Amino acid sequence: MESTEKAALPPTNLALRLAMVSTAAVSLAVVLSSNQKKLVSSPLLSSPAAYEAKFTYSSAIIYSLAATAAGLLHGVLTAAVVFFRRKAAPSRLLLQLAFADALAAAVMGSATGALSAIGYLALRGNSHVGWSRVCNIFDKYCWHVGITIVLSLAATWILLALVLSSTYSLHRRCR
C-alpha cells in the first residue's frame, strides 16, 4: 500500500483520545475544587488563626491547570477529527496527529513534573530552607493535588500511547 493511500484508523485511537479527554477533565475538576480553609492553633498565638490553601497560591499549580486545559482542548479537537476521518485517514493526517500528540504530551509532562514538585514540598517540606509541611494541616487540599498528579500523569501516558499508535500506523503503511 502506498503512503498516499487512505486507510482506516485503528479503533483504539479514538478510544485513547476519549480516555485522555476524560482524565484531563476530571483532573481539572479535582484541582479546581482543592481549596481548603482551616483554623490552626499555635503556641505563639492566643487564639486559633484561619489559614487557607488555594490552588491559585502556587504558580506551578496554575501552570498545570493551564496545561491540562490546553491538553483537554487538544484532546477534544483531535477526537473530533479522528471521529469524522476514522474510515479514511491519509498518512499526512497521522503524521500531523503524531506531532500534535507529541507536543501535547511534552506540555502535559512538564506540567505534571511541576505539580509533582509542589506536591512533594507540601508533603515533606524542605528543612534546608525552612519550608514546613502543609499536608498535615491541609489534608483535603493535598489529596486533591495528589489525585491531580496521578490523573495528569495518566493523560500524559495516554498521549504517548497515541504518538506510538500513530507512528506505528505510519510505519505499517510505508512497508
- What the block records as the C-alpha cell of 59 is 504558580
Domain limits of the chain? 11-174
User: What's the predicted TM-score (pTM) here?
Assistant: 0.84
Question: Which phi-psi region, left, alpha or beta, contains residue 170 (left: φ > 0; alpha: ψ -120 to 50)?
Answer: alpha
Residue 12 and residue 10: Cα distance in Å, rounded?
Answer: 5
Residue 168 and residue 150: Cα distance in Å, rounded?
Answer: 27
pLDDT value at residue 35: 79
E-only strand ranges, the chain: 36-40, 49-53
Residue 144 and residue 150: Cα distance in Å, rounded?
Answer: 10
Summarised one tens digit per residue, pLDDT across range 88-144 is 778 888 889 999 999 999 999 999 999 999 888 888 887 887 777 888 888 888 899
